[in-house]
Amino acid sequence: MSTTLTFRFEEALVYATRLHARQRRKGSDIPYVSHLLAVCSRVLEYGGGEDEAIAALLHDTVEDQGGETTLQEMRLRFGEDVAAIVSGCSDSDTIPKPPWRERKERYIAHLPAATPAVRLVSMADKLHNARAVLMDYRQQGEAVWGCFRGGREGRRWYYRAVLDAFKSVETTPLGAELERVVGELERETLKH
Give the catalytic positions in this structure: 63-64
| Residues sharing a CB contact under 8 Å with residue 72, sequence separation 6 or more, in sequence order | none
Residues facing residue 184 across a β-bridge:
none
- Contact criterion met (CB below 8 Å) for 140 and 177: no
Ramachandran quadrant class, 2 (left: phi over 0; alpha: psi -120 to 50; beta: rest): beta
Compute how many other C-beta atoms are within 10 angstroms of the C-beta atom of residue 11: 14
Tell me the C-alpha distance between 167 and 72, whole Å.
31
DSSP 8-24: HHHHHHHHHHHHTTT-B
Residues facing residue 31 across a β-bridge:
24
Tell me the C-alpha distance between 127 and 48, whole Å.
15
CA dihedral 57→60→65→71, nearest 10 degrees, is 80
